[in-house]
Structure 1
Amino acid sequence: MSWALALLGGFAKLLRGALGIIRDYPWQSAVIGLLLALLVMFWLWGKDHAALTEELSEVNGLIVEERAAHLATIENVRLGREAARELDRQNAERVKAEAAAINERITDELEATVSTYAARNDRLRGKLAALEAVAGGGGTADVPSDPDATCRAFGAADCDDLAARMTDAQGSIDRLIALQAWATGVAEIEVNGSR
């Protein structure tokens, strides 16, 4: 406890000495007091300034990060658009290739069918010519003497006309069947991307 009293006594002496200096030198003491007050203010301002500078630095760091994220988003959108354009182009090429393959297949099938019926028509005309020769050559064949009369019964001018009408009718049917197959094939193409 005596040390506390000694400390308090030392503080009182220091205070009496300071008050004596202030009383003896009032203007100098005021200037020194003002300088001490300014020094404390500058110290506090420096302390606050350092904290403010640190906060501004953190805010600037956040702004830089946000700007970088924004620029990255813009770049991602640009890359996404380019990728979408490329996928659209590839999809259009795929659809075009599938449609071309369907067209080629249907055309080949129709040509094969038409050539088959053309060959059958030629054989039918050959048989009709043979029957006419037999009918005109002695009447021993089991056919009417005038094959054109039989063909006229089916609405044709003569047997050649009947064969041509039958070939045209079959060709129309074959084209209709090919058109239906083409429409079915094209309708099955997936146009919006991969299957």
Structure 2
Amino acid sequence: MADSVTAQARTGGRSGPRRKEEIFTAGLELLAEQGYDDFTVEGVAQRSGVNKTTIYRWWPSKSELLRDALLQSGTLAFDLPDTGSLTGDLVELAARVQELLAEPRTRAVVEAALVGAVRHPAMRELVTQFLEDRLGRHQPLFTRAVERGELPVGLDPALLVDAVAGALWIRLLVRRRPVPDDFTGQLVALLADGISAARERAGRRSG
């Protein structure tokens, strides 16, 4: 995370904020088109119109550039739902992940990142950092659920996020099948049953 702050400081000059999103957009487009193997900073410079020496000054390596593109670009971002209930929030969360993966450009970025993560330790680290960052951004959703008594204290929210996102990734990216209208509702219902059982177990231990 400190490295990310450093990169932000590098882009804090007069031209940095104005061009940063253009560089990130170009980087994610090239990752989707070429994959991690053929991704180059020179290619990003050509696509974005920013001098490569400037990009290297801000991000000394392609992995650092891709890390900040994944973490800071609006391409993979969405607003956190707040429906007033955990099940409602999970349904909305699943729907927003589905919307991202349904968009061809975003889907291509996610696929390239996952393929690269399997083959390259550097890309695997980038994807891990991205997932940890998103889990941190989702934390308020689970904090509210604990406060409402819907989640037992100490339950790892990553289990729920991985279950929701993983089911959609498998359905859309691996099986290449459409998502039925009731898919997310059924998925969250299954998770809700598991959450209820975990809450009961936690209650028995505390009693």
Provide TM-score, normalisation by structure 2: 0.19
Instruction: Decide which structure has the larger Cα Rg and report it.
Output: 1
Using the size of structure 1 for normalisation, the TM-score is: 0.20
